[in-house]
Structure 1
């Protein structure tokens, strides 16, 4: 069962599972809370897991104006404050990862640990084939219909509003994210950068992010794509739980980390 809370003027839907230190799961673009179904049960055995839905997604209404990562990060920070979740661990996948990173940059006091899954933080981190796939998706009627089938039954705005949200997201993905490395270097939260070895993100980009953040780890999950939390949930969940441990093991031979 989900709940709503007013956060910065946005009536935001969220779900809560389990008990323990707070973990917030931030879904990808055009996705809903259900996209984390393979992670919630394992994480909720050790943590109190929150799964909010952002503006224009799932059961949270759209907002006038463009959808940007900065706007969604501000919404997320307002939701964390409304929920009194200072120091929560943020785990973002795809668009949710860019949102989580921006919260960690702009509101570091709100973030305990940070996980960035399958998301470049600047457009030079994508493959040319990733850009081509996005352009193809924007024009593909079947893909649009698939997302519309998810959006329509849930959205407070009604099915007729889906084309507006879809066009906003397509514009976002053409233009963003563009987070400078100087801003990435401001992240103080312990950070895990994770991606598939066949992801839309270049491994070199994720490695650069991991070198830029002061306290960061890099995980490349073999045999996976942009959908790695669905493709190999056991591996992803093991990595997440290990990273979230208060007493996680340190590096014994930290060669090549500076």
Structure 2
């Protein structure tokens, strides 16, 4: 199990395939297992890396000092340590927030961003939003992880034919280190880089499930405030789109990455070709 020490923490990661690097960032309470249906499809064409955030998966768990900014710093340290040049960054939910933070902190690093069922801020502004955030924090602190896992599994995978997904989710979620999970949840609530979206200079694909927690219109609004960005909606999907609609998601992602790579190659070669034509 590959491990790497970054920022005084021991991280678990995976590294498969070859080619242009793609870094996959998982959601809250999860790990690289978020991407079990993407890694085989992506690694045929790309070098695919997954990093378990501090407090998650096989990475050290202290439950102290967590923030989205810290998670992004960890990712940047990983990118540097692994020698990744212009990686594509794909983030699901909390992973999308980390990707937003990374791209605003270091806009020169990513070749592209793919943001899945996420947003550039989680700042409750209206009374109903404050109520919902407070309720989620309260129940997360008082309920056992197994109870939280069962409730979330029914929201994510409600169909009878998704029973295997529900059982897998419950098993994985219940195994969370409680203090680290709570610290990560607190890191999300109140975080935001919405006022810095103009710093993002790479192409952005925003993927939304049609039945995600947050409405499609919310994604459409923040996409409209970014330069080279587009929104794609996947039907009959909930928050765990890479799991409940893997084929549709993989097709969107692979097409987007291919388009970005083709555009980068064209941009790189055009000046050289122009110079040759004058000889």
Q: TM-score, normalised on structure 2?
A: 0.77
1:7-26 aligned at under 5 Å gives the runs 7-26=6-25
Decide which of 186, 193, 205 is 2:199's aligned counterpart.
186
Shift of 1:148: 8.9
Q: Which runs of 5+ in 1 are unaligned?
A: 154-158, 249-258
Any residues of structure 2 matched to 1:156-167 within 5 Å, and which? 162-167=177-182
Runs of at least 5 residues in structure 2 that lack an aligned partner in the other structure = 151-168, 264-279
Paired with 1:187 and 1:87, the residues of 2 have a C-alpha distance of 14
Structure-2 change in CA distance of 1:111 and 1:200 (3 Å): same
Give yes or no for contact 2:124–2:190 (8 Å, CA) kept in 1: no
For residues 118 and 109 of structure 2, what CA distance do their matches in structure 1 show?
21
Q: What's the counterpart of residue 150 of structure 1?
A: 172
Query: Given the alignment, which residue of 220, 243, 262 partners 1:230?
Result: 243
Structure 1 Cα separation of the partners of residues 231 and 256 of structure 2: 11
- Of 185, 197, 206, 1:170 maps to 185
1:215 alignment partner in structure 2: 228
Deviation at 1:133, TM superposition (A): 7.9
Note the C-alpha offset of 1:30.
0.7
Residues 70-219 of structure 1 mapped to structure 2, 5 A cutoff = 70-123=69-122, 131=133, 134-135=136-137, 138=140, 139-141=142-144, 142-144=146-148, 150=172, 162-173=177-188, 175-181=189-195, 183-219=196-232
CA 61–151 in structure 1, closer or farther in 2 if over 3 Å, else same: farther
- Deviations along 1:192-243, one digit per CA (max 9) or x if unpaired, are 0111011012212211221111111111111111011111100000000000
1:90 to 1:24, Cα distance in 2 relative to 1, 3 A? same
Question: 3-state DSSP class of the match of 2:90?
Answer: strand
TM-score (norm 1): 0.83
Aligned length: 238
The structural deviation recorded for 1:84 is 0.9
Pairwise CA RMSD of aligned residues? Answer: 2.7
Q: Distance in 2 between matches of 1:247 and 1:133?
A: 46
Q: Tell me, yes or no, if the aligned pair for 1:7 and 1:78 is still in contact at 8 Å.
A: yes
Greater Rg over alpha carbons, structure: 2
Matched position secondary structure for 2:239: coil
Is contact 1:25-1:91 (8 Å) kept?
yes
